[in-house]
């Protein structure tokens, strides 16, 4: 880690000058960079509280939470780096996280001492800053100093090279978020196993099981959002609304292009990069029959007059909090009678589910409520071989043919947030104030489904909103994005 040479530096095809004369020349005559005064970012105080809660759950254990490394896309090009959600939650570092950083909570007599390790700039007297295309300043820009990051995040900071010493003393009392940085995980395991007396230590499988507990706890810490997180969710939803407005404004160009779905994706992604960090997940722009494919992200189809287009999209802010919204739009400005029938049924399911949300209910009741409406509607239309009451029995579930996915998932730093939480705190958990989750029922009638009349085939509708649980009920954070059939028609007509 201390070497200036990056693992994938391409020395075999490099034309970077290597003479001593050049090295001496390029390392001199640079202006001094004054230290900039840094005010701690707002989330630093909240991150401190989150670390304190985690510390109380694991007394005496060394806790290692990596940000992760960049991931190769092709040869020596990488995907855009995004820090692991647990790391960002505990540090407050978001889109500006330095890849390879690691947060360590070292046990003390009264809790833990937190230290953030990251690769600080090597300085212009080294060849890193001009010769290393992976991390050099000439290539990717200057990295912040230890002092700057420490003041920004309210954390003790050390150079990543010093982390090697910590790894060298890793033992069975070290808990690691193992999926965040697989290479680091393998190194820690190897060092523990090679140490004299290692036969008395836990096996890798035992250590993995113990670390799974840490991963679980980190997920469960995010089930209830603090005030900073709730404010960020509001901002993410507002940015996402602007993205949907942009898409509707571009519908004439979308309709004219042979791959109009790509234009929808591109328009929304442009807003995401302008108002946030990126999209929170691959945008689904599913027109016509593609709306029946739940995770349609190829987005290479046409958008034709008369189509419905299902757009499932969310903007991720620089804090890494993301929205997750779905709207289904009639691209010509008006629903057909059958399209509107399906749309209104989905909206009824969504509204019924939202109506029961309040502290004290079980999370799974939200899905059950939406499914009762889906069963009633599909039975009413004659699509089920049994009544709605019979279909909702666990051993039947005929109506689920037309909606196989769940109705709700937690939302925050990850689009499917808190995924490692225990079932009795998630699906079977009690809803609490401060939770943020989606409500997203749908109906999808596949184009070759012979159980439904021909006029229904190829129609897919989903309506998804982001919900905040309040002290005495719930707030639909995305209520300002048109939802009813009439409002959606006016929205499409008005923006175009």
User: In this predicted model, what pLDDT tens digit does every residue of 323-355 receive, in sequence order?
Assistant: 999 999 999 999 999 999 999 999 999 999 999
CA distance 320 to 95: 7
145 plus 235 within the same structural domain: no
Quote the number of domains for the chain.
2
Can you give the pLDDT at residue 195?
65
Q: Return the top range by mean pLDDT from 166-170, 207-211, 443-447.
A: 443-447
Here the tokens at position 89 are 């939650």
**Residue 38 phi, psi dihedral angles, 5° rounding:** -120, 130
Strands 465-469 and 474-476: antiparallel
For residues 203 and 316, state if they share a domain. no
DSSP string, 38-80: -PPPTHHHHHHHHHHHHHHHSTT-EEEEE-----EEETTEEPP
Q: How confident is the model at residue 8 (pLDDT cuts 50, 70, 90)?
A: low
Residue 496 pLDDT class (50, 70, 90 cuts)? low
Is 131 in the same domain as 256? no
199 in the same domain as 269: no
* Domain contains 1: no
Residues 150, 266 within the same domain: no
| The predicted structure's pLDDT at residue 5 | 46
Q: Are residues 76 and 205 in the same domain?
A: yes
Q: Which tens digit of pLDDT belongs to each residue from 218-263?
A: 999 999 999 999 999 999 999 999 999 999 999 999 999 999 999 9
Q: Kindly state whether residues 177 and 56 are assigned to the same domain.
A: yes
CATH number of the domain enclosing 407? 3.90.230.10
Domain membership flag for residue 9:
no
Residue 381 predicted with pLDDT over 50:
yes
Domain residues for 180?
A: 16-220
pLDDT band at 96 (very low <50, low <70, confident <90, very high): very high
Q: Is residue 137 part of a domain?
A: yes
Q: Where among 203, 220, 237 does a domain terminate?
A: 220
Asked if residue 319 belongs to a domain, the reply is: yes
Instruction: Identify the band that residue 205 occupies on the pLDDT scale cut at 50, 70 and 90.
Output: confident
- 143 and 47 belong to one structural domain: yes
In angstroms, the CA 138 to CA 131 distance is: 8
Residue 2 scores a pLDDT above 60: no
Q: What is the CATH number of the domain that holds 139?
A: 3.40.350.10
182: in domain: yes
Greatest pairwise CA separation for the chain in angstroms: 86
Residue 58 scores a pLDDT above 50: yes
Which of these three, 191, 220, 249, is where a domain ends? Answer: 220
> What pLDDT is stored for residue 121 in this prediction?
82
Q: What is the DSSP string of 437-464?
A: EEE--EEE--TT-TTS-GGGTT-EEE-B
The answer to whether residue 4 sits within a structural domain is no
Q: How far apart, in whole angstroms, are the C-alpha atoms of residue 450 and residue 383?
A: 10
- Pairing mode, strands 315-316 and 436-439: unpaired
Q: 151 and 231 share a domain?
A: no
In a domain, 2, yes or no: no
Contact 154, 45 (CB under 8 A): yes
Measure the CA angle with vertex 490, ends 332 and 282; round to 5°.
65
Give the residue from 188, 220, 252 where a domain finishes: 220
Residues 22 and 71 in one domain: yes
Q: Are residues 279 and 395 in the same domain?
A: yes
216 and 282, same domain (yes or no): no
Q: Are 185 and 102 in contact (CB under 8 A)?
A: no
């Amino acid at each position: 880690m201390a070497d200036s040479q990056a693992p994938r530096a391409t020395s075999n095809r490099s034309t970077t000058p290597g003479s001593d004369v050049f090295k001496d020349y390029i390392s001199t005559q640079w202006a001094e960079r004054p230290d900039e005064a840094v005010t701690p970012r707002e989330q630093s105080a909240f991150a401190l509280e989150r670390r304190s809660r985690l510390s109380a759950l694991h007394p005496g254990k060394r806790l290692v939470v990596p940000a992760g490394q960049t991931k190769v896309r092709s040869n020596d090009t990488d995907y855009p780096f995004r820090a692991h959600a647990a790391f960002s939650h505990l540090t407050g570092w978001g889109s500006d996280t330095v890849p390879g950083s690691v947060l360590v909570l070292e046990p003390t007599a009264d809790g833990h001492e937190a230290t953030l390790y990251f690769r600080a700039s090597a300085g212009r007297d080294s060849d890193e800053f001009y010769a290393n295309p992976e991390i050099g300043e000439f290539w990717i820009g200057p990295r912040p100093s230890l002092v700057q990051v420490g003041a920004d995040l309210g954390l003790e900071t050390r150079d990543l090279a010093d982390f090697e010493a910590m790894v060298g003393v890793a033992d069975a009392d070290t808990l690691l978020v193992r999926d965040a940085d697989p290479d680091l995980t393998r190194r820690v395991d190897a060092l523990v196993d090679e140490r004299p007396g290692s036969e008395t230590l836990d096996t890798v499988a035992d250590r993995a099981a113990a670390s799974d507990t840490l991963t679980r706890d980190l997920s469960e810490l995010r089930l209830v959002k603090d005030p900073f997180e709730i404010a960020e969710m509001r901002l993410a939803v507002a940015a996402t609304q602007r993205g949907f407005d942009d898409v509707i404004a571009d519908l004439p160009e979308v309709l004219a292009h042979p791959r109009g779905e790509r234009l929808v994706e591109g328009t929304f992604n442009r807003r995401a990069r302008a108002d946030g960090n990126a999209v929170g997940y691959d945008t689904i722009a599913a027109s016509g029959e593609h709306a029946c494919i739940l995770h349609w992200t190829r987005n290479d189809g046409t958008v034709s007059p008369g189509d419905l287009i299902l757009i499932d999209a969310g903007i991720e802010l620089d804090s890494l909090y993301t929205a997750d919204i779905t709207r289904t739009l009639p691209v010509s400005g008006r629903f057909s009678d059958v399209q509107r029938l399906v749309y209104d049924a989905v909206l009824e399911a969504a509204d019924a589910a939202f109506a029961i949300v309040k502290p004290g209910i079980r999370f799974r009741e939200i899905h059950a409520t939406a499914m009762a409406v889906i069963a009633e509607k599909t039975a009413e239309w004659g699509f089920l071989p049994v009544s709605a009451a019979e279909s909702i029995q666990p051993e039947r579930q005929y109506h689920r043919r037309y909606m196989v996915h769940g109705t709700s998932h937690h939302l925050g730093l990850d689009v499917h947030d808190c995924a490692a939480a225990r079932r009795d705190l998630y699906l079977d958990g009690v809803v609490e104030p401060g939770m943020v989750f989606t409500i997203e029922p749908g109906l999808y009638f596949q184009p070759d489904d012979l159980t439904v009349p021909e006029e229904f085939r190829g129609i897919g509708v989903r309506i998804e909103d982001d919900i905040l649980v309040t002290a005495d009920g719930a707030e639909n954070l995305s209520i300002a994005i048109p939802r009813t059939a009439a409002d959606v028609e006016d929205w499409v007509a008005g923006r175009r």
